Chain A
Amino acid sequence: MIASVLRLELRRSRSLLGWLALTSILYTGFITFYYPIIKQNQATLDAMLKLWPKEMQAAFSIMGNLTDVGTFFNVYVFLMIWPIVAAIGGILMATRAVAADLDRGFLELPLATRISRPAYLATSIAGQAIGMGLLVAATIATILVSGLVIGESWDTGRFLLAGCVILAFGWAIEAVTTLLAVATLSRGRAGGVMAGILVGMYLLQTLARIDPHLDALSYLSAFHYLDTGPLVNAGVFPAEGLTVLGAAAIGGWLASVWAFRRRDLLA
């Protein structure tokens, strides 16, 4: 029973995951091939960045030396394309099981069978989690494979750990969106609010980088915990990121399942 729900969930995500994975692979592969060029032109790049306003650098998360592999991928992949991919995938997958399926008149069919609401939503959540995992795998694998192609020998373990951090970020998006979908029963509202939250958190993070007095604000932003630069550059274990993002994901999903148990399914 559970396996059927999970299979259907993954099947329905196939197309979305395929296109998002392709986007991530093409972009990440393309950017990785730029890394040697950045290294070769370090002096020119430093000169150019000195001319850039610090606000601009903060807005694009350019904090540190771009020739450091951790900083490079942080700026161009983990804090640029990944939040977009994770947000699109997370929001679409997390709003489908409850809000979108209720709207289309499908949800009542499985919920009128032997499967309980918590089991149904938990299985759907498992499908979301696996889907996000596949996107992370595609992204990290592209970095590592492209690195081999350009002759760079990066620390695989650090990138795998970075994969865990960006996975926790994607799961946190999915979990909060699932909770919003259960609360609002509207795909539009849940997705819109989640997108707004992400944009707001990005702005908080940028403000905190620009003005040191506002540094505390960055702790309210998920992007603060997505910083994998120190991990990839120096092997600093991302305990804070994994803990906060993981807690948000698990907490959001548990709250969703709890709320869905007794949710009035007003179409």
Chain B
Amino acid sequence: MRDECRGYRAEGPCCRPAGGLSLSRRRRAVGAPRIVPGQRASPRDRLRSGAGTVIGMPNVIETTALTRSYGSRRGILDVEFSIAEGEVFGFLGPNGAGKTTTIRLLAGAIRPTSGSARIFGLDTWARAPQVHHFMAYLPSDPGYLGELTAAEQLDYLATLRGLARGAWRPVAERLELDPTVQVRRLSRGNRQKVAVVQVFMGQEPLLVMDEPTSGLDPLMQREFLGLVAEARGAGRTVFLSSHNLPEVERSCDRVAVIREGRVVDISPVQALLGEHWRSVNLVLAAPAPPGTFDLPNVRVLADGTRDAHLMVMGDVNPLLRRIAGLEVRDIAIATPDIEDVFMRFYGAGAPADRPAVEAAP
């Protein structure tokens, strides 16, 4: 048990639940930043690599060869990733890829067939009640009790999480949720608002969400992204699964792509996007001198007298430096969205059995 709690044990019985040693005390004991509700993390705490991983911080989530099979049905196989404190981690994959299975394993709802998942150093299955002290969880398609109002439902869950009744009100107001309506009378989108309010109403250091914006309109999706950004600003760690690619692109530091139960890629979002072509359309005041666009990562698709269509792979700075010497009337750079990236793993010839290599943050 002591080994399970390494890095988090300060004094007294290891893994003591509520009423015992708080997470913030455990963190201070090992020199980790303290997360106080409403207080933003210090710049030192926010020291990050380009991928957004906090340097020198212990991993909040760590899975090792995590496998879950359902008899003849495929579940997930050898899923490995680690998420640092303060990181927003996206988990991408289509329906049936294994996202929900992975998240339910993290939530301690189901038992791994082999391998392990640890949150704050605690095994998510064997130590589920302790893990839940530090985690706010939003399952996929939660079934709220139709006979209760949203307020009653949220108060109930707030109490079970050790929060004050009404702790959900600020978030509910932001999401324009009417808490007085019975859940059975709410639309799907409004029910999803209840779910989002529920997960953000506390100050747990880890948020785990399974398709949190499913059913939300674009305005509320934007509000959701704001909530995620604030959580990150407060030093909280966020794990969210989605097949809403722009949402992941906007909110996440790193992304894992899961395909047929296996993680096929883990990369910082920017690196994932940087590996792809960008389309650059230029309108110039005068024709560009010959060889202007001769760069190793640039392909000239069309070069008219005063307009050019180029494709750039990766770093655009060398090209921009060349363009800076020209008189440009108009320029349009279309970046690939993460959907293009995602399709790479699902298109013909996709690397189904390629083991995932976790990109160094």
User: Footprint of B on A, CB under 8 Å?
Assistant: 1, 4-5, 8, 12, 101, 104-106, 108-117, 262, 264-266
Asked if residues A113 and B157 are in contact (CB atoms below 8 Å), the reply is yes
The reply to whether A4 and B147 form a contact with Cβ atoms under 8 Å apart is no
A sample of 12 cross-chain residue pairs with beta-carbon separation below 8 angstroms, ordered by A number, consists of A4-B156, A4-B160, A8-B156, A101-B143, A105-B141, A109-B137, A111-B132, A113-B160, A114-B161, A117-B128, A264-B111, A265-B109
Q: Does B35 have its Cβ within 8 Å of any Cβ on chain A?
A: no
Interface centre among A8, A108, A110, A117 (most CB of B within 10 A): A108
Find out whether the CB atom of B110 lies under 8 angstroms from the CB atom of A106. no
Is B17's CB within 8 Å of the partner chain A? yes
Q: How many residues of B contact A (CB 8 A)?
A: 29
The reply to whether A114 and B107 contact each other, CB–CB distance below 8 Å, is no
Q: Is the pair B145, A12 in contact by a Cβ cutoff of 8 Å?
A: yes
Tell me whether A106 and B160 are in contact (CB under 8 A). no
CB-CB under 8 A from A108, the residues of chain B are: 104, 107, 109, 137, 139, 142
Q: Which of B108, B137, B142, B159 contacts A106 (CB 8 A)?
A: B142
B257 within 8 A of A: no
Residues on A with beta carbons closer than 8 Å to the beta carbon of B147: 12
Contacting A at CB under 8 A, from B116-145, are 128-129, 132-133, 135, 137, 139, 141-145
B349 within 8 A of A: no
The complex places the Cα of A116 from the Cα of B159 at a distance, in Å, of 14
Alpha-carbon distance between A124 and B202 when the two chains are bound, in angstroms: 25
| B347 surroundings in chain A (CB, below 8 A) | none
Instruction: Kindly identify, within residues 34 to 86 of chain B, every residue whose CB is under 8 Å from any CB belonging to chain A.
Output: 70
Q: Which residue of A lies closest to B141 (CB)?
A: A105
B70 and A5: CB pair below 8 A? no
Instruction: Confirm or deny: B198 has a beta carbon within 8 angstroms of a beta carbon on chain A.
Output: yes
When A and B form their complex, what is the total count of cross-chain residue pairs whose Cβ atoms lie within 8 Å? 70
B136 CB to nearest A CB, Å: 8
Complex CA gap A112/B199 in Å reads 11
The proximity string for B residues 191-219 relative to A, scoring 1 for CB distances below 8 Å and 0 otherwise, is 00000001000000000000000000000
CB distance from B234 to the nearest CB of A (A): 20
Is the beta-carbon distance between A1 and B110 smaller than 8 angstroms?
no
- CB-defined contacts of A106 to chain B, threshold 8 Å: 142-145
Are A264 and B159 touching (Cβ within 8 A)? no
User: Which of B104, B142, B143, B198: most chain A CB closer than 10 A?
Assistant: B143
| Consensus secondary structure, chain B interface | loop
Complex: chain A residue closest to B125, CB-CB? A262
Q: A109-B139, A266-B70 provided; 10 other pairs, C-beta below 8 A?
A: A8-B145, A101-B143, A104-B143, A105-B142, A109-B144, A110-B157, A113-B157, A113-B160, A114-B18, A115-B129
Contact residues in A for B139 (Cβ distance below 8 Å): 105, 108-109, 112
Q: Pick the most buried of A104, A105, A108, A113: most chain B CB atoms within 10 A of its CB.
A: A113
Taking CB atoms, residues of chain A closer than 8 Å to B290 are none
**B142 & A109 in contact (Cβ 8 Å cutoff):** yes
Q: Do B142 and A114 touch (CB < 8 A)?
A: no
Partner of B132, one of A104, A105, A114, A262: A114
Instruction: Give the Cβ gap from A99 to chain B, nearest Cβ, in Å.
Output: 13
Q: Is B162 interfacial (CB-CB < 8 Å)?
A: yes
List chain A residues, Cβ under 8 A from B70: 266
Across the two chains, which residue of chain A brings its CB closest to B134? A114
Interface positions of B from 91 to 118, Cβ below 8 Å from A: 104, 107-111
CA distance A116 to B129 in the complex (A): 5
Q: How far is the CA of A104 from the CA of B17 in the complex (A)?
A: 29
In whole angstroms, what is the CA distance A209 to B203 when docked? 64
Known: A4-B160, A111-B109. A105 touches B129 (CB 8 A): no
A265 to B160, CA, bound (A): 19
Determine whether the beta carbon of B110 is less than 8 Å from that of A266. Answer: yes
Separation in Å of the A10 CB from the closest CB of chain B? 13
Residue of A nearest to B146 (CB): A104
CB <8 Å contact, A265 and B156: no
